[in-house]
Chain A
Amino acid sequence: MTSKDKLIRTETLNLWYGEKQALYDITLGILPNKITALIGPSGCGKSTLIRCFNRMNDVIDKCKITGKIFFHETDIYRPDADAVEVRKKIGMVFQKPNPFPKTIYENVAYGSKVQGITNKNQLDEIVEKSLKNAALWDEVKDRLHESAMGLSGGQQQRLCIARSLSIEPEVILMDEPCSALDPIATAKIEDLMTGLKKKYTVIIVTHNMQQAARVSDYTAYMYLGKLIEFGETKQIFENPKEELTENYITGRFG
């Protein structure tokens, strides 16, 4: 594993919310076409870290970042980098399903529309393909022009996945995508993730140990804003090097 293989690479990343430091010297690399899980106790900075990858923290006032994040060997935080361009390449699915209060069709077409695609046929194609990739097509194909708010939670979350797939990013960030869903919906999304990694690189935050063990190839364990251990999922779960990691994984954590 050389640094050349890494799709995303952080270098001594530090982050502050105002006076309060939330990330300390994070250095890690994400391999392409793999699923990487971020785990750790509540408040340890998982969301904060994953939101750095698509510069979503730019939205938050008083958030200050030092260090570097390379995507394809270019620093996405260098002064002339454009957050909008970064987000076209690195999509995101949020913890709570957040469809827009528009139709199902409009939700999926939105990303393409804002990039200037107006051709109806092209949009139709994009919508169909994205919904199929998100395993939602069959359930909604007859009601594309109804409100997305009428979908169930699990359907809404898959719609959000379809929305992020619609602009064909390279990376998909998922922040606890299943925490608001029931076991069946969760299983559907987990299946989906495994399918996605053929085309995409996936980074997922999860509180569910089994989920991390089931779906991910690599796992990062974070604690109090620091990266404690990072390695292949199998190794992290079966043979952790750090005591902190072991405590957390075996549930001996306070």
Chain B
Amino acid sequence: MVKIFHLSWKGSLLKEKGMKTLFFLSAISAIIVIFSIIFFLFRDAYPIFQKEGVVDFLIGMRWYPTGQPPLYGAFPLIVDTLLVTLGAMLIAIPLSIGSAIFIAELATPRMKAIIKPAIELLAGIPSVVFGFFGLIVLVTWLQITFDVPTGESWLAGSILLGIMAIPTITSVAEDAISSVPREYKEGSLAVGATRWQTISKIVVPSAISGITAAIILGIGRAIGETMAVMMVCGNPTYGLIPNPITNVFAPIKTLTATLGIEMGEVATGSDHYSALFGLALILLIITLIVNILATLILGRLKEKQRSGSKRLPIISFELAKKIKQSLYLFIGIVIIIILLMAVGIIPVICILIIIALMYYSLKKISIKIKQKIAFSIISLSIIIVIIFLGIILAYIVTNGVGALSWEFLTTGPSNLGRSGGIFPSIIGTLYLVAGAIAISLPLGVGAAIFLHEYTKEGIVTKIIRAGADLLNGTPSIVFGLFGFAFFVLYLKFGFSLLAGQITLAFMILPTIIRTTEEALKSVPQSLREGSYALGATKWQTIRKVVLPPAAPGILTGAILGIGRAAGETAPILFTAVVFSNFIPSSLLQPVNALPYHLFTLATSIPGSKENQAGTALVLLLLVIGIYLIAILLRNRFRKNMKW
């Protein structure tokens, strides 16, 4: 008896150790991936840095790789990227913050219950669907309305990116506003402040870190966005800064669009090829900085909430006030200068006078009327958001529904996709997504189990989480380039299902880690202790006690990952897809996929309008449907969480 006991004890110890090692390996996978991305980008970018010099590459004023001699100056592309992001934020920030305030503070509970998940759903619309709408509707509308030669421009990119960023910024900002303690609000109301005074002087300032983080996240997404920008910005052959710089109708070429367009045409190993990797590295560094900023702010915020906000702020209130004032001054001067250049001196003076008059009359009018005005503006912003997104959805549904039929879903395309169906793309997307989830789910869940069950919070978890955060902020096109350099070329997979699956898996890995961790966190500690008290080992406890209640949460994460993978185009653009009606029979063959099919139809196949809209609708329904399942599941799961 004793011997048997001894043996089994030893066996289980071995198993325990094995499991722990396994989880540790999956946990560091995020870090390995982010480092290999940086490594491979750098490796392939190195020749151009050596040839042109890093500084010249960065500040070179011309991007003209097909010229004689070819010019590789990234500066105009960087400027264009920042310009289109700036424009997008001018649109997205006021509308998103207005909407967030509306949802958090003004909406009735029933309205909130509808609008909040709806906004979250909209965050899932694939960017290629936005791009399709932008190309067909927005660009044409701009061209006709402003009577310009082409609507493909900075403005089109900014409008589209702005709309795309709204759901992200709104939901993060809304969370921040909603989590302002009710005590603050009551304290303000109790001294006779109106609702608007309470919102503007107490609630929003208390949520300012979260709102800032939301904006930074939005900026990060806008900078990294590829497909939509590529489809509506015009992309002149050589990258140029708009002339004059305020010309919003100038076609522009962003970093991401340059990668998306030129990567497909370039000879491997050429200077041009290397220069593109240089661009990707720049893009990665910009988004890394942006995301680190957001993570730091959000992290600080969480810490503050945990420590009961007793700690003194690092910046004194006086200093914060001064910073705020100088910031306003700076923004004001910038806007005035831009306006001066754009419209000339006389209109600017008129505008300034009007603003001054408005300011003084606002001071005069009563507090109650101010509240009415403020609430109207806030309500207006959410109405505008709903109209924007409503128009896009309505356009795609009304135009796509005509193409939709059983045949459309079950036959292959003919006449280059102008007629026939989209069966191969549907199958391709399913294959890609299935592979991606099969790879990322075990890795992600393993990583989360290691982070939450096997280690104490410390330097190791910090590094792993930072790796996951950085991966989360990496633009999808950068994954695409990495996949191309590593899987397609280095590992010689070629354009293949497998290369696409792994690339997508890496992209959704952080989503899965994060949601799994949340699910594990929500399992009460007492359950684990109960299990240990019965003599169960760690792994037994995790498998029998922790994982079952966490399963719905993990499933939600998996579904979110599936939705994201199904809608993405950029990561598979150079790793897996070809425009064909080919259905692969092995992992090493290329595929077609819904988003790529839509992209190709919309950009290169004239006369395929009906099938474009049909494909867009199928993709939209697929992705939104997946997200809907995830949201419903999560909401039910949260309700059940009240133990």
A149 part of interface (Cβ distance < 8 Å): yes
CB distance from B477 to the nearest CB of A (A): 41
B310 part of interface (Cβ distance < 8 Å): yes
Q: Which residues of chain A are near B310, meaning CB under 8 Å?
A: 149
CB distance from B311 to the nearest CB of A (A): 7
Bitwise, B172-187 to A at CB < 8 A (1) or not (0) is 0000000001111111
CB distance from A143 to the nearest CB of B (A): 11
Asked, given contacts A84-B192, A114-B194, A114-B201, whether A150 binds B312 with beta carbons under 8 Å apart, the answer is yes
Give the dominant DSSP class at A's interface: mixed
Bitwise, B286-322 to A at CB < 8 A (1) or not (0) is 0000000000000000000000011111001110000
Is the CB–CB distance between A164 and B190 below 8 Å?
yes
A64 part of interface (Cβ distance < 8 Å): no
The stretch among A25-33, A90-98, A188-196, A227-235 that forms the contact with chain B is A90-98
Is the CB–CB distance between A98 and B108 below 8 Å?
no
B367 part of interface (Cβ distance < 8 Å): yes
Is the CB–CB distance between B187 and A100 below 8 Å?
yes
CB distance from B189 to the nearest CB of A (A): 6
A61 part of interface (Cβ distance < 8 Å): yes
Is the CB–CB distance between A106 and B197 below 8 Å?
no
Contact with A56, one of B181, B186, B193, B313 (Cβ below 8 angstroms): B186
A101 part of interface (Cβ distance < 8 Å): yes
A62 to B318 CA separation, bound complex (whole angstroms): 40
Asked, given contacts A84-B192, A163-B191, whether A101 binds B186 with beta carbons under 8 Å apart, the answer is no
A115 part of interface (Cβ distance < 8 Å): yes
In the complex, which of the residues B108, B182, B311, B317 has the most CB atoms of chain A within 10 Å of its own CB atom?
Answer: B317
Is the CB–CB distance between A110 and B191 below 8 Å?
yes
Is the CB–CB distance between A101 and B309 below 8 Å?
yes
A84 to B188 CA separation, bound complex (whole angstroms): 11
A134 to B440 CA separation, bound complex (whole angstroms): 60
Is the CB–CB distance between A84 and B184 below 8 Å?
no
B269 part of interface (Cβ distance < 8 Å): no
Is the CB–CB distance between A91 and B201 below 8 Å?
no
B206 part of interface (Cβ distance < 8 Å): yes
Bitwise, A46-78 to B at CB < 8 A (1) or not (0) is 000000001010010110000000000000000
A4 part of interface (Cβ distance < 8 Å): no
Q: How large is the interface on B (under 10, 10 to 19, 20 to 34, 35 or more residues)?
A: 20 to 34
Q: Which residues of chain B are near A160, meaning CB under 8 Å?
A: 187
A88 part of interface (Cβ distance < 8 Å): yes
Is the CB–CB distance between A167 and B186 below 8 Å?
no
Is the CB–CB distance between A149 and B312 below 8 Å?
yes
B202 part of interface (Cβ distance < 8 Å): yes
Is the CB–CB distance between A114 and B206 below 8 Å?
no
Q: Which residues of chain B are near A61, meaning CB under 8 Å?
A: 108-109
Asked, given contacts A61-B108, A102-B317, A147-B317, whether A56 binds B190 with beta carbons under 8 Å apart, the answer is yes
Is the CB–CB distance between A54 and B190 below 8 Å?
yes
A160 to B191 CA separation, bound complex (whole angstroms): 10
Task: Kindly count the residue-residue contacts between A and B in the assembled complex, taking CB atoms under 8 Å apart.
Answer: 88
A87 part of interface (Cβ distance < 8 Å): yes
Is the CB–CB distance between B185 and A111 below 8 Å?
no
Q: Which residues of chain A are near B192, meaning CB under 8 Å?
A: 84-85, 87-88, 111, 114-115, 167
CB distance from B275 to the nearest CB of A (A): 49
CB distance from A64 to the nearest CB of B (A): 14
Q: Which residues of chain B are near A150, meaning CB under 8 Å?
A: 312
Name the interface residues of A138-192: CB closer than 8 Å to any CB of B.
Answer: 145-147, 149-150, 160, 163-164, 166-167
In the complex, which of the residues B183, B186, B190 has the most CB atoms of chain A within 10 Å of its own CB atom?
Answer: B190
Name the interface residues of A97-124: CB closer than 8 Å to any CB of B.
Answer: 98-103, 106, 110-111, 114-116
A84 to B183 CA separation, bound complex (whole angstroms): 17
Q: Which residues of chain B are near A166, meaning CB under 8 Å?
A: 191
Is the CB–CB distance between A100 and B186 below 8 Å?
no
Q: Which residues of chain B are near A59, meaning CB under 8 Å?
A: 182, 185-186, 189
CB distance from B561 to the nearest CB of A (A): 35
Bitwise, B86-127 to A at CB < 8 A (1) or not (0) is 000000000000000000000011000000000000000000
Is the CB–CB distance between B185 and A99 below 8 Å?
no
A38 to B194 CA separation, bound complex (whole angstroms): 28
CB distance from B191 to the nearest CB of A (A): 3
CB distance from A10 to the nearest CB of B (A): 19
Contact with B313, one of A100, A116, A145, A147 (Cβ below 8 angstroms): A147
Q: Which residues of chain A are near B316, meaning CB under 8 Å?
A: 145-147
- A115 to chain B: closest residue by CB: B192
Q: Which residues of chain B are near A103, meaning CB under 8 Å?
A: 317-318
Q: Which residues of chain B are near A98, meaning CB under 8 Å?
A: 181, 183-184, 186-187
Q: Which residues of chain A are near B197, meaning CB under 8 Å?
A: 114
Residues of A that sit less than 8 Å from B by CB: 54, 56, 59, 61-62, 84-85, 87-88, 91-92, 94, 96, 98-103, 106, 110-111, 114-116, 145-147, 149-150, 160, 163-164, 166-167
8 pairs from A and B in contact (CB 8 Å cutoff)? A96-B183, A98-B186, A111-B191, A111-B193, A114-B192, A147-B316, A149-B312, A163-B191
